[in-house]
Structure formats: structure tokens, C-alpha cells
Amino acid sequence: MEDEVEGLLLEQLKDAYSAEKQALRCMQQSARLATSPLLKGAIDTHVEETKVQIGRLDEIFQAMNAKPGRKLCLAMKGLVEEAAAEAGDHDKGPIMDLVITASMQRIEHYEISAYGTMVMTAEALELQPVVKVLEQTLAEEQRTEANLAQMAKAELMTSALEDEVGDEDEAGQPPPKPASRSASSKSGSAKSGSSKSPPAKRKADKPASGKSPGGKAAPAKPPARSGSRTGSSSRPAARRSR
């Protein structure tokens, strides 16, 4: 049973070795992206600490007659990929510094958990030299995470908020208004419009002689009858006698 627990500790150490290697590359890249001098200094400091931590793990492997091998820490792989993706969404500046700090804090929390578990396992196996080395690294990870949290609260968050307010002020500027027509031109156009009199209504044309108002010809009046009739015109010619 003890051999199985020791084998478990070796697997945890290999996982931590891979995690530290990946975290080191991530921090080196983050240092190039950071703009805050305070953040850059904290990253550079922890980069050097991480190199020492990797050396400590090498010593533990030698003491336990083991090798780190090529085990890949999948958890750290995910954290590093997430950090790179988030950094790619922002330009250099206060917001980027906050993104880097948050990514580093997640990495530190994972490492704190991993080293805490290894310390507990080494203590159960009564491997005091291993416990001592692992506790050194655990204390460094805890200190780094606390420094990052304090830095974000005291400086980085304030800078990011001020930068965001500045961007909003610039974005809130109203666009220039187009040149308005002068009041005189408006009044002039109003006057010119009022000086024109409305068109006079056309009077209805009187109907022409012989035409009705509707345009149709009026019926002709019958000729007046004469008061007397002539005999020659009213009687037929007399028949000739035989």
C-alpha cells in the first residue's frame, strides 16, 4: 500500500513538473504584454522563482530515483490556453494588465492546490526532506497570489476604470452638426412666399347664346304663327271643270 501511495506522489510530482514548465512559458509571454511596471516586476520575479522551483523538483526526482518523464499536465494546459485566448481579445493597456493578472491568479491557485496535496502526501510517507522542499515552493506560490490580488485591487483596477471612463468620454462626443441655414434666408423665403397672392378663382363663364350652362345647345323656339291666313296659301287649287 505504501508503494502505491509513493507512486501516487511521483505522479503528482510529474504533473507539477509539467505545470511549472508550461506556466513559465506563459509568464514570459505575459511579461512582454504587460504595461504596468508593477505587474511586469511581479511577473519577472516569479519567473525566476519558477526556474528555482523546477530545479527543486529535479532534486526530488533524483532523491526518489525517478524521472519527470513526458507527462503533460492537462489542467495547466487548459489554463495557459485560456490565458492566451483572453489576452488575444485585448490591446496593450490597463485592461490587458487586468486580464494577465487574473490569468496568473488562476494559475497560482491551481499550483497552491497541487503543492498542498503533495505536501500532505509526502508527510503521510514521512519524507521530511521532500516535505521541506515542497513547502518552500508552496509558500512562494501563496505569496505570489497574494501580491497579485493586492496589486489588482490597489492599482490595476483603478487604472482600468479610469481608462474605460476616458474611452467613454471620447466615444460620447456628439458628431459636428451640419451648417444650418441662416435665419435671414429662412425669413427671406418666407417673405417671398407670402408676397405671392393666391391665384384668383375663375368666374364661371356665362353661357353663350343658344347654349345651356352645361354646354349643350338649347332647343330652337318654334316660329310664331301669323294672325291671319291668306286664301291662296291655305286652300287647295280648284279642280278644272270638264
Question: Is 140 inside a domain boundary?
Answer: yes
Residue 233 lies in a domain: no
Quick one: average pLDDT of 13-20?
Answer: 98
Q: Is residue 25 part of a domain?
A: yes
Q: Domain for residue 23, yes or no?
A: yes
pLDDT, one tens digit per residue, over 169-181 is 555 555 555 555 5
Say if 200 falls within a structural domain: no
Average pLDDT, the chain: 80
pTM of the prediction?
Answer: 0.67
Task: Please report which confidence band the pLDDT of residue 11 belongs to, taking 50, 70 and 90 as the band edges.
Answer: very high
pLDDT at 50: 98
Could you list the residue range(s) of the whole structural domain that residue 40 is in? 2-171
* Per-residue pLDDT tens digits for 209-223: 444 444 444 445 544
Residue 168 reports pLDDT greater than 70: no
Buried b (16+ CB within 10 A) or exposed e, 74-98: ebbeebbeebeeebeeeeeebbbbb
240 located within any domain: no
Whichever domain contains 147, its CATH number is: 1.20.1260.10
Domain count of the fold of the chain: 1
Residue with cell 503543492: 115
CB 118 within 8 A of CB 2: no
Q: Kindly indicate the confidence band of residue 206, based on its pLDDT and cuts at 50, 70 and 90.
A: very low
List Cβ neighbours of 204 (8 Å cut-off, separation of 6 or more).
213
How far is the C-alpha of 130 from the C-alpha of 54, rounded, in Å?
14
Give the CA dihedral 171, 173, 175, 177, nearest 10 degrees: 170
Q: Residue 224 domain-assigned? A: no
| pLDDT value, residue 178 | 55
Question: What's the confidence (pLDDT) of residue 21?
Answer: 98
Q: Looking at residue 151, what is its pLDDT?
A: 92
Q: What number is the average pLDDT over the span 126-150?
A: 97
**Which range, of 82-91, 114-123, 169-178, averages the lowest pLDDT?**
169-178
Kindly state whether residue 154 falls inside one of the protein's structural domains.
yes
| 69 has pLDDT over 90 | yes
